[in-house]
Amino acid sequence: MLKIRSAELKHDDYIGKYVSIKGWIHRIRKQKENTFLLIRDDRGDIIQCIIDSSKTNNLTIESSIEIFGIVQKDPRAPEGGYELKANEINIFSISKNDYPIGEYQSLDLLLDKRHLAIRTRRMTMVSKIRSSVLHFSRKWFTDNDWIEVTAPIIVKGSVEGGSTLFPIKYFDENAYLSQSAQLYLEAMIFSLGPVWSITPSFRAEKSRTVRHLTEFLHLEAEAPWVSLDDLITIQEELVSYLIQNILKKNKKEFDFLKRNVSELEKISPPFDKITYEKAIDKLRNEGLTIIDRESSRLIEYGDDLSIESERLLTLNSSKPLFVIGYPLKIKPFYVKEEPSKEGVGLAADLLAPNGFGEITSGGIREDDLQKLEKRMVLEGLQKSNYEWYLDLRRYGSVPHGGFGLGIERLMRWILNLIDIKDTLPFPRTLRRIYP
């Protein structure tokens, strides 16, 4: 007897074979003589099983079972026209009769009961795509000769500004959860060349938005002797490669989620580009106002690009857009100044199309010790926490740069999801650290 999964047995080769499937009862429809069970296996695939009703008396939704039977073809069977004519059931556990997840729930309940809601087929599909994002990220970097590294999560200082730091008690010292591995990757390029990592980053984001998590998965890359153009090309190639390979591998999942992928199929280098300065002009022409000290005014040069600005810049476009050359004063201390343009940083953010907003941020790092020290003073950073980082500029400093990509931000775009919480099994936000 063959023990297999549902997806595998949906094949003419199995017709007439006696097999067993392990899984959970997804749906039950009892008739007088026969009961129709939809069994969901451990990969979320469904197979219809028909069994004599006398054998299903105590079965409930989500009971875990092994079911034995002969594979047969019937065009009426859901999900592919194959079913199991079953004759025996082994029960692992009878589920309590009040399983809280059904067809219609409030979003809050689905988050409160996330440990169960992740069994929904929708979440299974999303998680499979997430697995592919991670798989193909690793494959792209490995195939292109980048070395994978890891950086510590417990750190002494901020990378992306103090306002989003999560303080932790670390014996008698103050420490924080890492906002970005960047500074540590910068240290590693001196002995490993181009490096990359994928680690959780933490941000104490106090606002509730559909694109901010307090813990997100951060793919980061750093390399010596690269220009801003090189970094842009690397990101164009990486993002296009990820999308094209995921679309191929996860066709079934995209179909299930009813994601129209025709625009994603066209994602390929080069992406669109606009300078920060031109982006501001464009937003001013569109009349974008921002609230400033309780009065509103037109957006102007020097303002950060808000969620609304990013949305407007790509709303009617199906290509990702790089915004290049932000003013230094709205970028962190490590961004290098463009030699020919005072006050302008060698930095670029990548915005996803159709208003999805920023998915990567990166640029060239300040490699001059004095300039870096000055910027740290301006940002009010405590130098003693960064002496190790400044050593990188004292001992053989080199021009270098890198970028960070938010895995959930990328997924939110490619899955066309409104809320970033739907891209991962256990989201962490301002109001949610349970389950």
As measured in angstroms, the least distance from the Cβ of 111 to ligand AMO is: 16
Alpha-carbon separation of residue 51 from 80, 269, 385 (angstroms): 19, 54, 68
As measured in angstroms, the least distance from the Cβ of 110 to ligand AMO is: 20
Distance in Å from the first CA to the final CA of the chain: 40
| Closer by beta carbon to ligand AMO, 10 or else 400 | 400
Sign of the alpha-carbon torsion through 22, 25, 27, 29: positive
Whose CB is nearest to ligand AMO?
Answer: 406
| Closer by beta carbon to ligand AMO, 353 or else 363 | 363
| Closer by beta carbon to ligand AMO, 82 or else 196 | 196
Residue from 24, 126, 4 nearest 65 by CA: 24
Residue type, 302: G
As measured in angstroms, the least distance from the Cβ of 287 to ligand AMO is: 26
| Closer by beta carbon to ligand AMO, 89 or else 129 | 129
| Closer by beta carbon to ligand AMO, 40 or else 218 | 218
Residue from 16, 54, 59, 19 nearest 37 by CA: 59
Longest dimension (CA), the chain: 84
| Closer by beta carbon to ligand AMO, 24 or else 216 | 216
| Closer by beta carbon to ligand AMO, 130 or else 218 | 218
Backbone torsions φ then ψ of 198, nearest 5 degrees: -135, 110
Neighbours of 246 (CB within 10 A): 25
As measured in angstroms, the least distance from the Cβ of 259 to ligand AMO is: 20
| Closer by beta carbon to ligand AMO, 114 or else 211 | 211
Residues counted in the chain? 435
As measured in angstroms, the least distance from the Cβ of 32 to ligand AMO is: 53
Exposure letters 19-47 (e unless 16+ CB within 10 A, then b) = bbbbbbbbeeeeeeeebbbbbbbeebbbb
| Closer by beta carbon to ligand AMO, 18 or else 166 | 166
As measured in angstroms, the least distance from the Cβ of 325 to ligand AMO is: 14
* Residues near ligand AMO (CB under 6 A): 159-160, 180, 182, 203, 205, 212-213, 216, 218, 220, 358-363, 402-406, 408-409
| Closer by beta carbon to ligand AMO, 146 or else 216 | 216
As measured in angstroms, the least distance from the Cβ of 75 to ligand AMO is: 45
As measured in angstroms, the least distance from the Cβ of 160 to ligand AMO is: 4
As measured in angstroms, the least distance from the Cβ of 100 to ligand AMO is: 28
Question: Is beta strand 82-93 parallel, antiparallel or unpaired with respect to 46-52?
Answer: parallel
As measured in angstroms, the least distance from the Cβ of 147 to ligand AMO is: 17
